Amino acid sequence: MSKLEDAKEKWPAAIHELTIGALAADGGTRTSTVTVGGAAALPFMHFEGPTPNRPVIAMEIWDCEPPEWSEVVTDAIGDAIKSPTEWAKKCVEEFGADLICLRLMGTHPDFGDKSPEEAAQVVKDILEAVSVPLVIWGCENDAKDNEVLPRCSEAAKGECCLMGTVTEDNYKTLVASCLADGHSLIGLSPIDINIAKQVNILVSEMGFPLDRVVMYQTSAALGYGIEYPYSIQERGRTAALGGDKMMAQPVICMVGSEAWRTKEAKATAEEQPGWGDETTRGVFWEFGTAVPLLMAGTDILVMRHPAAVVAVREYIDRLMKTEGV
């Protein structure tokens, strides 16, 4: 046996594969689907095992115009940001998003308090406006999400969306809805492997298939403690490849929201004249946040700025090349 063969890790398990979106033949209306997971080795270690599905990029849109986003992002999106459907169409048609992540922030009691019916209508409108798969993300107020997300689940029945989030303390309502309507789930937990596993255990005890769960163990931006979520995510991936079925789910990360909340990304040139061009600084920060999360095993990157999306997509293209491996 060669020294290279001796050096290879031999993993006994793989990450679950999960498909988001349903074609007409499967009862949906999407013209494309997205499949994530399936890796049988650590990220991009192609010589050790197959990575059948590349990481994908979802572009984040809101059901309302975001009031506090950086002008660098809002200017890049343009007037489409005033309409969720036009925003979604632009993300797909111009920016090449693999899927859309709709955040229902306008339903939050402190941020518009839109009704479940209004939220469900936005979901319907976006499903009509674009034909890529849809991620539906609540406002993360448990009481309001338990009213809103079941209506959105019903509105998107048959489309095999990815819905979230469920947590250790709030999961029963959305699990029941997704079981009834055929969607997949996002399990949200702090940066803690044990709590992430507990969420998966609770969901599975309700009869929900673990191969329809995506994990989000929260994260951080470049320069803001990303090393810790990186190490936790890497430990989770090695546990999964070692045979831990409760950690064998694909991973989603909110790259854009983490990166663009940092002062380095959003500070204007007037506020920080020595920090360089503000129109590119935040883009680099979003890219720099995405790269280590890719290396840790993230399967779905939720991003904001179209230029960062282009840069990350090109980077994934390079990482997925297997010539010479």
Please report the pLDDT score of residue 5 as a whole number: 64
CATH of 3-319, one of 1.10.10.10, 3.40.50.720, 3.20.20.20, 3.30.565.10: 3.20.20.20
For every residue of 110-145, DSSP letters joined together read TTT---HHHHHHHHHHHHHH--S-EEEE--S-HHHH
Contact present, 262 and 275 (Cβ < 8 Å): no
Read off the pLDDT of residues 187-213 as tens digits, 9 standing for 90 and up: 999 988 999 999 999 999 999 999 999
Please report the pLDDT score of residue 267 as a whole number: 92
Cα-Cα-Cα-Cα dihedral of 237, 238, 239, 240, to 10°?
A: 50
Please report the pLDDT score of residue 6 as a whole number: 63
The SS3 of residue 215 is: strand
Positions of the chain with pLDDT lower than 70, given as ranges: 1-7, 323-325
Q: What are phi and psi of 41, to 5 degrees?
A: -155, 170
Residue type, 89: K
Please report the pLDDT score of residue 4 as a whole number: 56
Radius of gyration of the chain (CA): 19
Burial of 136 (0-12, 13-18, 19+ CB in 10 A): buried
Give pTM, 2 decimals. Answer: 0.96
Half-sphere exposure of 321 (CA within 13 A, CB side): 7
Residues 320, 306: Cα–Cα separation, whole Å:
21
Residue in the block written with tokens 């020595």: 274
Contact present, 193 and 218 (Cβ < 8 Å): no
Domain ranges of the chain: 3-319
Task: Report the 10 Å Cβ neighbour count for 235.
Answer: 13
Q: List all residues 6 or more positions away from 147 whose beta carbon is below 8 Å from its beta carbon.
A: 116
